[in-house]
Amino acid sequence: MTKTTENSQLTGSLLAEWIPRAEVMQFLGYKATQMYHFLKSGKVKTVKVGKRIFVNRKSLNDFMEAQSSQSEY
């Protein structure tokens, strides 16, 4: 396996674990201020790379599961 192939596989797996903030905003239907407070609350894991913020997919799934178990629909 070449170094380039290894790097793209690593990048692909990392991107599978981290979702750009903008995608999470769109999915949750949050505006910028709502998203800011949500991320600051510490309910999900985040990482900042340069000016971009990414949300950990597993922590978002865990948050969603916790919300669904609290719902009484």
- Domains belonging to the chain, first-starting first, are 3-70 (1.10.10)
Closest CA to 57 of 48, 46, 68: 46
**Neighbouring C-alpha atoms within 13 Å toward the C-beta of 3:** 0
Residue 3: its pLDDT value, please? 58
Distance, CA of 73 to CA of 64 (rounded, Å) = 15
5-45 pLDDT, tens digit per residue, is 555 555 666 668 999 999 999 999 999 999 999 999 999 99
Distance, CA of 18 to CA of 20 (rounded, Å) = 7
Residue 65: its pLDDT value, please? 93
Residue 68: its pLDDT value, please? 84
Q: Letter for the amino acid at 69? A: S
Given the structure tokens 């290894």, which residue do they identify? 6
The CA-atom distances, in angstroms, between 9 and each of 5, 12, 48 are 6, 5, 21
Local confidence band at 62 (pLDDT 50, 70, 90 cut-offs): very high
Residue 37: its pLDDT value, please? 98
Residue 11: its pLDDT value, please? 61
